[in-house]
């Protein structure tokens, strides 16, 4: 059976809302990382049979298969097929899953997964259509708003405001330490701007303190989460090259990791964002593994309660969870984040000379993605 392996993964720096990347169209962001990934690996673009990309808000500038138009805008071969998917915040991770599955099924040997969200230009929910029409989830199910769901999770796990603030501060501190130590240098590729400037660092990092976070107002009246304990609205793109292992070696490429197990699961609608717990249990069961077999965890910081809930239920040591910070500090361009987490965990496993990682992401619509990643 063909074995898909991850050869490399890259991302743009994540720009804050209205920041340095907000002047760039989504096809520029995505086409840029697609090109840089090919340049860095030395793979001929013509060898890529298919590109599958994640994008959550497929409206306006991000509509009409943005993955395909990013590829063409970058001047890459017209023969390569492209698909854009929406698995909400798990979109880029699910794109990796789908490319890997195609390779495992023998459909092709070389594929690219990617993801993009230009949230400054195409705000979330822009794809709902006519103003005043009901949101899709109101047609058949009663899902809470994300802020409400995050607070429900906190209440469910006995997490107070101080617990959430502590996690938010830790995310900022860890992300800044990682940047200062050069731990994001490999995954981040600089983005040139039309005015000659170059963006080479995430814009979401903040200088803050426990006292400052404690002084922030909750996002919702009577709630627990604040801007300091929620993911940031951001602009950015990611890409990963997935190749059949024998073919990778023939091309002179070094396989870096493989997916041991992968899943997209439905979560509890009442809690909406608590799905990483279930998704991770599913991939562990499929792999015949336990939490004790995992060296590192990357659980997306949509809100502080999500990784905290995950850690509490699965008994995960905080020193193994989001060790370089997360979306609270770095940003969360929703369609791209899954590959950012993948790039981070592969780099960190290599840096620590460890072997097994888990990437898990909560997603809108009460779903979640998860994968067990094994360093090669």
Residue the block writes with tokens 């429900």: 152
The DSSP code sequence of 93-140 is: HHHHHHHHHHHHTTS-SEEEEEEEEETTTS-TTGGG-STTSPPGGGTT
216 C-beta neighbours (distance < 10 Å), count: 16
Centre a 10 Å sphere on the Cβ of residue 126 and count the other Cβ atoms it contains: 16
Out of 25, 97, 314, 332, pick the active-site residue.
Answer: 332
89 three-class SS: strand
> Can 55 be counted among the known catalytic residues?
no
Catalytic residue among 25, 55, 73, 89, which? Answer: 89
Q: Are 151 and 305 in contact (CB under 8 A)?
A: yes
Write down the H helix ranges in the chain: 26-41, 66-73, 91-104, 146-156, 161-180, 210-214, 245-250, 275-287, 305-314, 327-330, 337-352
Q: For residues 199 and 284, what is the distance between their CA atoms, to the nearest angstrom?
A: 38
Strand partners, 239: 10, 114
Q: Which of 25, 97, 114, 362 is catalytic?
A: 362
Q: What is the DSSP track for 339-354? A: HHHHHHHHHHHHHHT-
Distance CA 78, CA 82 (A): 10
Whether 114 is catalytic is no
Give the active site residues.
Answer: 89, 332, 362
């Amino acid at each position: 059976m063909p074995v898909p392996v991850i050869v490399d993964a890259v991302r743009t720096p994540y720009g804050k809302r209205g920041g340095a990347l907000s002047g760039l169209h989504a096809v520029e962001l995505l086409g840029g990382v697609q090109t840089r990934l090919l340049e860095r690996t030395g793979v001929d673009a013509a060898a890529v049979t298919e590109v599958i990309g994640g994008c959550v808000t497929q409206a306006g500038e991000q509509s009409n298969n943005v993955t395909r138009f990013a590829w063409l805008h970058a001047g890459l071969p017209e023969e390569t097929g492209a698909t854009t998917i929406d698995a909400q915040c798990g979109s880029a991770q699910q794109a990796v899953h789908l490319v890997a599955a195609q390779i495992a099924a023998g459909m092709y040997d070389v594929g690219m997964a990617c993801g993009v969200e230009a949230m400054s230009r195409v705000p979330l929910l822009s794809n709902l259509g006519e103003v005043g029409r009901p949101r899709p989830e109101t047609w058949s199910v009663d899902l809470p708003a994300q802020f409400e769901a995050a607070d429900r999770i906190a209440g469910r796990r006995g997490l107070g405001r101080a617990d959430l603030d502590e996690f938010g501060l830790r995310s900022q501190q860890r992300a800044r330490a990682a940047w200062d130590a050069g731990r994001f240098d490999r995954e981040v590729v600089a983005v040139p701007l039309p005015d000659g400037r170059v963006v080479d660092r995430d814009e979401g990092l903040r200088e803050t303190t426990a006292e400052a976070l404690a002084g922030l107002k909750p996002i919702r009246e009577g709630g627990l989460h604040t801007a300091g304990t929620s993911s940031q609205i951001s602009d950015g793109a990611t890409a990963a090259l997935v190749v059949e292992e024998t073919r990778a070696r023939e091309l002179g490429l070094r396989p870096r990791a493989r997916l041991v197990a992968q899943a997209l699961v439905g979560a509890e609608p009442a809690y909406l964002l608590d799905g990483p717990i279930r998704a991770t249990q599913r991939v562990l069961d499929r792999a015949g593994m336990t939490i004790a077999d995992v060296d590192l965890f990357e659980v997306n910081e949509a809100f502080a309660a999500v990784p905290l809930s995950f850690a509490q239920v699965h008994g995960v040591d905080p020193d193994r969870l989001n060790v370089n910070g997360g979306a609270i500090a770095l940003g969360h361009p929703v369609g791209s984040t899954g590959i950012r987490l993948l790039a981070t965990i592969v780099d960190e496993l290599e840096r620590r000379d460890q072997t097994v990682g888990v990437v898990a992401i909560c997603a809108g619509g009460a779903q979640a993605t998860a994968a067990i990643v094994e360093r090669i």
